[in-house]
Each structure stands twice: as C-alpha cells, then as structure tokens.
Amino acid sequence: MSPILTPEQAAAVTPAATDPALIRNFSIIAHIDHGKSTLADRMLQATGVVAPRDMRAQYLDRMDIERERGITIKSQAVRMPWGAPGPDGAIRPYALNMIDTPGHVDFSYEVNRSLAACEGAVLLVDAAQGIQAQTLANLYMAIEGDLAIIPVLNKIDLPAAEPERHADEIAALIGCGPADILKVSGKTGAGVPELLDRIVEAVPAPVGDPAGPTRAMIFDSVYDTYRGVVTYVRVVDGALKPRERIEMLSTTAVHDLLEIGVISPEPSPTGGLGAGEVGYLITGVKDVRQSKVGDTVTSAAAPAAEPLAGYQEPKPMVFSGLFPVDGSDFPVLRDALDKLKLNDAALTYEPETSVALGFGFRCGYLGLLHLEIIRERLEREFNLDIISTAPSVVYRVTTEDRAVHTVTNPSEYPEGKILDVQEPVVRATILTPSEFVGTVMELCQSRRGTMQGMDYLSETRVEMHYVLPLAEIVFDFFDALKSRTRGYASLDYEMDGEQSADLVKVDILLNGEKVDAFSAIVHKDAAYSYGLKLTKRLKELIPRQQFEVPVQAAIGSRIIARETIRALRKDMLAKCYGGDISRKRKLLEKQKEGKKRMKAIGSVDVPQEAFIAALGADNPTGKDGK
C-alpha cells in the first residue's frame, strides 16, 4: 500500500510546479448503480483530500436531486495527491485528476466529454450483477478514444458477489487475463490503494507542448449566482496564469482571467495551470453563451492558430413543450433555460406558442429521464410551475407535392395527402438472463422491433440486438422491460437512421375545435385505442359546461372516437305543478334554444389541472397501445 502524502508533499503538487510526467487524468465509467460515486468517496478518503469530519456519502454529487435519486447527473472533476513509486523506485508525489461520470444512457454525452479530457478509464463492474448494457457502451466509447482501460470488480463484499465468474466475462470482453482484474469494495475501501497504484502505473502521462501557444479545452461549465460562469478546462498545450487576458477561439471574445485553480475537491485558487492539467477558470462573465462547451481557450497576447477538435454536438432524441402555468413567468423560464443550457450542453430549446397553453418553449432532450430532470430542476431551482406536453420524436413527412417537412411537434404535421413518413430508429442492445429471452422477444415484437442477432456472453446471460422505433422506447419501454424480467435486464441504445412507417396524426376536438396540445402522432394500428383512451380521460377531467360538449378524436376529417360531456341543467319545471303540459313543453323548448345558441358561441373552459393530468400520463403510441 502506498503511503498518503505528507502535507508538505501534497503542497508540492501545485499546478505551477507539477511536471506533466507526474499527472494522471482518468474517468470512472460504469453502468447505473455499479458504485462509481461510492468508489470516488473512498478515493477521496484514501488520498486525504477530504477530512473524516467533512466526509459524506456521494460527496461529488452536489445537486439535491442527485442525492435524493441516488444517481449522478453531472460529471465532477477532482484533483487528488497520491504518493507512488516512480521509475527509480522512489516515492514521488503524483497528481491524480479524477472525473466521476453518470451511468444512465440519457447522460452518455456527459461521459463522452469527460473521456475526451482523460488518458485512462477505470471500467467498474458490479461483482454481483456483472456486465450490463451501459458497461459495454461506455467501454466502446473509451476504446474509440484510445484510452487505457483498467478493469475493476466492485462490491466484492456483497454476499451475492461472484467475482470469479464475472472476472472471466470481463477478461473475454477486453482480452486480458482474469488475474489482471482488480477487486475492490467501494463500501469498505478494500483494494482502493492498489487501484490508485495501478492508475499511476497504467494510465499514460498527458502529452502536450508546455512551451507552445496556450490551448485549453472547455469540457464543462456551471453558472454561479455570485461569481458568474465557472468554466472547467483541460489544458493541452502551454499554460494559463491568473490575471492574463484569454480569448475564446469560436466567439473571439476576450476576457480577464480573475481566478484560476483546481477542484480538490472544493475550488482552490492556484498559481496557474500547466500542460496536461485539469482545473477551473472564472472570468466574471455573466452571459452564459460566452463559455461554450467544446470551445478552445487561448492566450489573447499570443493566440493559437488552430482550435482543438472539440466535441460532437449532441442530437436531441425526444422533444416536449414546456409552458409556464402563469403566462407572466415566460421571461423567467427563458432565463432559467439559458442558465441550464450552460450547465447541460445537451439541452436545446426554441420558442413556440400554443392556442391552449400560451407562450413556451419546444425543448429537445436525450431521453425521458433527461426531460424529467430538466423539468424538476426548473421547478426547484427557479420556483417555476410548468406544464410539459407529451414527448414526441422528430419525423420527416413527404406530402403529395413532394415537399419534405421536418416535424418535431404534432401541430407541425402537414395537412392533405401524405406520401411517406420517416421515423427515427435506434439500435438497441439488451442484456438479460437466458430464462427471459422469450419474454424480451415478445415485448420487442409488440413495439415493432426487428431482431438483428443474439449472443450468449455466458451460459446464463444473453446479449440481444434489436432495431426499434425511437417513439416506441421513449415512453415506458424501459419500465416494461424491467417488470417483465424482474429487474434483471439492462438496455442501451444508439441512433440508427430512419425507416418508413405507417403513422397518422390523431387530433382531439372539443366542441368541434382542435386542441393542439392534445394532438399526437401514433402508429395507425394504435390510433383507435389512443383516441378512445384520451377522450375517456378528458371526459372525466373537463368540468361540465352550460352546454353539451362533444369530445372527439379524429384522423383528418374522420372521427374515430367520441365521448360527450353532459350539460349542466337548471330545473325549469320546478315552479310548474299540475296544469297544461304545453306550458312545460314551451319552457323546455326555450331552454333548449338557449343551450343551442350558447353552444354555437361558447368556448370550452379546460382547466390547467386537466392539461397536467392528461399530458402527464403515459400516452400510448405503440402498436400494442402501451
């Protein structure tokens, strides 16, 4: 076991003095719940950067929503000193820059950016569960980035752990021997010092030109209410010093560098950042658009000629409208989305209007969990009450005149005869115990899936490959998969182009008027069940009016489902007792005429609660109506 550095040695690991040969940049990648954040906690303790009295579980998960849900949403960078034998055998002070990454497929863009700032990756696998779908996805991402892979089995202290069996699986996957796989426990800290030694030994030192023009890559940024934009960078060439003027190459904006430092694990100002180092910059900038993730930071005095490669822009997979319940909150929502966009580069949005909901934004997300997190952060951090419309994906619709329309919202669906509709499809990888193969195949076929192949990873675990329409998996596919396999199956997916599909637009009419917020694009075979389900739900949610209100579902001009909300009716005959029947008939006819006239000119009052209840439910889009 390597000794923890003395305070004097740890102090020697300063950015101005650190030799690039003594720096190691690495990420921890794994499937959800395989123990990344817990292992990061033990590393912080083993290196002594967090005092025992300050230690808490999930130390690097800063947001309340992360701590409540027990998931990592934002990747976090932290610098740790560690003493390990150098090439000459003497103990040398190394600086380890660790980036803890999310595990959920919706946040794989965060992982992608984090890996680009590293030379190595710790591949963490739960010793009880083994390799999962997202483990494979993150591994392939790391291999594409040419990173050194350190395979590690975590949770070896669990009674259900089978480290030998899962070590064989990992060894077969990455081509190493089972003896090369480290065994650690994020809970007890067993094996963590050996892992830190292996990181020093296996991860290469960063390569850069310390004397060249300064180039630093922005891999993340956050908005601080008091200090403005805090930018996280990885310095590739040259060095950055406090108080120098820096330039952003993409925007050519010039700023004064007010503060520069490292996260260890709290922000610590230092004398600068050298080649290969990871740290943060504060320029006092309040405009969130001036610190773009993937941009190159250089010195304004001697700027670099070529920017760094940057990152591939994330493509939104799911779209949903966000509207404030109180229309006067629209400017607050716009500012809130501006700030979240800085913190979450995968979020896209543009203004839109709805007849029913007023002014809002059409937002693009990487998945349904991403949508849920954004909505919850807007409500918590900015005190906004929000209605979100039913999620939809991007379709390409070709009309009879050969014009091609891009449809992100059902209200954009063109009228008239449709020649072809192209919907996005994904290539899904499902890992499941072999006993559930039939169940998974049945589920995928009900969601219009096409099987591409099946591989047995071991006697009890199967890897299945399917091509599925994206619209079929963004709603409740993951929940259905988990419930049908008792929680043992795992899912990962990536975009795989488009396919032609038999889709139609279902409109909801109230008193003959279309309500755009309730429109949806669904498969033709599911249209009737969707219309029937939503009309029944709206009949229960919309309060009775002074006149009868028909609630109809229609495809074009053809009505496919109808429910009727009965009118509120005053007892006109209360004062009539006995006497001539013609008087009663006259009163009822008079009431009938009044109701008819009111229906012709009256508008249906749909309360906000009805929108929230109808749009918040899992609306069916699949062929099986689920």
272: CATH: 2.40.30.10
Q: Do 118 and 55 reside in the same domain of the chain? A: yes
Question: Which CATH number is 452's domain given?
Answer: 3.30.70.240
Q: Are residues 368 and 429 in the same domain?
A: no
Looking at 251, 269, 299, the residue that finishes a domain is 299
Chunked in runs of 10, what are the mean pLDDT values of the chain (626 residues)?
46 51 84 75 77 59 52 65 72 79 59 76 84 76 83 81 79 77 79 85 82 81 76 83 82 82 79 82 72 77 74 71 83 86 75 77 80 82 81 83 82 82 87 87 88 83 88 76 77 81 85 77 84 84 76 85 76 64 72 55 56 51 40
495 plus 510 within the same structural domain: no
Strand partners, 529: none
Q: How far apart are alpha carbons 159 and 251 in whole angstroms?
A: 55
Q: What pLDDT does 313 receive?
A: 65
Give the pairing of strands 418-433 and 395-399: antiparallel
What is the extent of the structural domain holding 369?
318-389
Q: What is the reported pLDDT for 601?
A: 42
Global pTM value = 0.66
Which DSSP category does 240 fall into?
B
Report how far residue 288's alpha carbon sits from residue 231's, in angstroms, rounded to the nearest whole number: 10
> Which CA distances in Å does 590 have to 547, 567, 586, 596?
14, 15, 6, 10
User: What CA–CA distance (Å, rounded) separates 449 from 442?
Assistant: 10
Q: What is the DSSP letter of 547?
A: S
Give, as one character, the DSSP assignment of residue 543.
P
Tell me if 325 is assigned to some domain: yes
Kindly state whether residue 209 falls inside one of the protein's structural domains.
no
Reported in sequence order, the residue ranges of 289-434 that DSSP labels E, i.e. its strands, are 296-299, 318-324, 348-354, 358-365, 386-388, 395-399, 404-407, 418-433
518 and 558 co-located in one domain = yes
Contact status, residue 260 vs residue 240, Cβ threshold 8 Å:
yes
Q: Is 551 helix (H, G, I), strand (E, B) or coil?
A: strand
3-state SS class at 586:
helix
Are 289 and 342 contained in the same domain? no
> Would you call 331 helix, strand, or coil by DSSP?
helix
91-114 burial, b at 16+ Cβ within 10 Å, e below that, comes to ebbbbbbbbbbbbbbbbbbbbbbb
- Residues 183, 220, single domain; the answer is no
Q: Do 485 and 348 sit in the same domain of this protein?
A: no
What is the DSSP track for 254-312?
EEE--EEEEESSSEEE-S-B-TT-EEEEE-----GGGS-TT-EEEESSS--SS-----P
Q: Is residue 621 part of a domain?
A: no
- Domain membership of residue 208 (yes or no) is no
Q: Among 202, 229, 250, which residue terminates a domain?
A: 202
| Residue 37 labeled ligand binder | yes
* Same domain membership, residue 163 and residue 104: yes
- Do the annotations mark residue 586 as ligand-binding? no
Is residue 308 in a domain?
no
Q: Which of 360, 389, 418 is the last residue of a domain?
A: 389
CATH number, domain containing residue 376: 3.30.70.870
Closest among 283, 121, 305, 145 to 218, alpha carbons compared: 283
Neighbours of 495 (CB within 10 A): 12
Cis peptide leading into 265, omega within 30 of 0?
yes
Is residue 228 annotated as involved in ligand binding? no
Neighbours of 195 (CB within 10 A): 20
Of 439, 426, 427, 424, the closest CA to residue 465 belongs to 427
Does residue 155 have a known ligand-binding role? yes
Position 119 in a domain = yes
Alpha carbon distance, N-terminus to C-terminus of the chain: 55
Q: Give the model's pLDDT for residue 623.
A: 42
Sign for the pseudo-dihedral over CA of 266, 271, 275, 280: positive
255 is annotated as contributing to ligand binding: no
34 is in an annotated binding site: yes
- In eight-state DSSP terms, residue 494 is E
For 352, half-sphere exposure in the C-beta direction (CA atoms, 13 angstrom radius) is: 25
Q: How far apart are CA 183 and CA 166, in angstroms?
A: 11
- 32 and 139 in a single domain? The answer is yes
Q: Give CA–CA dist 559/486, Å, rounded.
A: 40
What is d(CA 521, CA 406) in angstroms, rounded to the nearest whole number? 13
How, if at all, do strands 148-154 and 120-126 pair? parallel
Query: Tell me, what's the pLDDT at 531?
Result: 86
**166 shares a domain with 59:** yes
The number of residues making up the chain comes to: 626
Buried b (16+ CB within 10 A) or exposed e, 474-494: bbbbbebbeebbeebbbbbbe
Q: Check the annotation: does 156 bind a ligand.
A: yes
Tokens standing for residue 61? 């998960």
Distance from C-alpha of 60 to C-alpha of 450, rounded to nearest angstrom: 41
Local structure of 139: helix, strand or coil = helix
Residue 496 labelled as part of a binding site: no
Instruction: Please indicate, yes or no, whether residues 78 and 29 belong to a single structural domain of this protein.
Output: yes
Shared domain for 93 and 195, answered yes or no, is: yes
- Total structural domains within the chain: 5
Contacts with 510 (C-beta within 8 Å, 6 or more apart), sequence order = 538, 542, 549, 550, 551, 604, 606
Which CATH number goes with the domain that contains 570? 3.30.70.2570
Q: How many CB atoms lie within 10 A of CB 201?
A: 12
Asked if residue 373 belongs to a domain, the reply is yes
The structure tokens 């012709």 sit at: 600
**Does some domain include residue 622?**
no
Q: What is the pLDDT of residue 392?
A: 77
Distance CA 21, CA 97 (A): 13
